[in-house]
Amino acid sequence: MTIINYTSDGLYPELISLFRAVAYSKQIASDELINVCFPPIDKVSDEERKKKEKEILGRLRGALSRWTQLGLFVEESGKVKLQEQFSAKRKETTDMLTERLPSFCRQLILQVDHCTPLWGESGLTSDFARGTAWLLAQDIYQFSATWSDVEALQNSQGTGGNTLSQNDVRWNGLRFWARYLGFATGDSGAFQIDPTVAVREELPSIFGSRKELHAKDFLLELGSRLPVLDFGSYRKEVESSLNEANWRKPADGHLSMSLSLALRRLDLDKTIHLAGKADTGSSYRLTGSNYRTWVGFETVAWKGGKS
């Protein structure tokens, strides 16, 4: 089983509860941790209570096991604690640390040794990586999030005999995690493919002390840090398997609709500035609805500060 099979691995609400309890306690026995995170179940029959208890316990234990495998938690001598790199900084509260949890999860989920091989279930998080890469390669303005439409679309585009999402349970898990990790927005009835949050949170690491980058350098670094985006290794591997008779590749020099939307939003809210400079030697275009060209840019500037 892998990360988007939430019936066995839990979802981010379970993970958040576990993470906060461990962060607050510094270290805690695994059984005590599960008990602390187990919610009260009221106003149901005994039979229904037993059923819910079994489901919740299974998801909590599954989430703890999976995220220990992925490296968020460490268990030593029966005690669970956070991996040191994910522990609170000086004067950082549990609430502040929890705000950074999605970025920790993205880092671990997209880690090469967790995602590869990309096809099949050998990689602990390969299902999320290939599914998200496929989502981000789609026409985001025509995309229908109902499972029957998703299944038909992935089958029509073909993946060389490989499976992107096996069933509606896996599809729901992919949508939930995609939203939490900043690759989508909206609830189940208004799901929108949109990696703006994930891109925004990578900006400090991409720019460092620099204020401006050539477009190509920026995009390659972004694809390296988020390999499900344009120019990323997982994205390239998924796109190479698609049937171009039923999947439209962006025009030469154009970015995908999903990345274009993210960069356009960040440009409009003045987080970044997309500019054209004739002497940089590289230029890219944003792709909008109906594959129309939005704007072109040759450099990306960032004001710095909190992303």
Q: How far is it, in rounded angstroms, from Cα 128 to Cα 134? A: 10
Letter string b/e over residues 93-110, b meaning 16 or more CB atoms within 10 A of that residue's CB: eeeebeeebbbbbbbbbb
In sequence order, what are the residues at sequence separation of 6 or more whose Cβ sits closer than 8 angstroms to the Cβ of residue 60? 10, 14, 17, 18, 34, 37, 38
Q: For 257-277, how does the pLDDT look when each residue is reduced to its tens digit (9 = 90+)?
A: 999 999 999 999 999 999 986
192, 185 contact by CB (below 8 A): yes
Q: Is the pTM of this model over 0.85?
A: yes
What is the pLDDT at residue 6? 76
What is the pLDDT at residue 223? 98
What is the pLDDT at residue 160? 55
What is the pLDDT at residue 77? 87
Q: How far is it, in rounded angstroms, from Cα 137 to Cα 238? A: 9
What is the pLDDT at residue 282? 66
Query: Of 290, 287, 256, 291, whose CA–CA distance to 133 is shortest?
Result: 256
Q: Show the domains of the chain with their CATH numbers.
A: 6-92 (1.10.10.10)
Q: Which residues of the chain have pLDDT under 50?
A: 1, 280, 307
Q: How far is it, in rounded angstroms, from Cα 214 to Cα 116? A: 30
| CA trace torsion 217, 221, 227, 231 (10° rounding) | 10
Q: For 139-171, how does the pLDDT look when each residue is reduced to its tens digit (9 = 90+)?
A: 999 999 898 999 899 889 876 556 666 678 888
What is the pLDDT at residue 303? 82
Distance of CA 38 to the CA centre of its chain: 26
Three-state DSSP state, 281: coil
Burial of 164 (0-12, 13-18, 19+ CB in 10 A): buried
What is the pLDDT at residue 277? 61
What is the pLDDT at residue 307? 46
Q: How far is it, in rounded angstroms, from Cα 122 to Cα 23? A: 30
What is the pLDDT at residue 162? 61
Peptide bond into 117 cis (omega under 30): yes
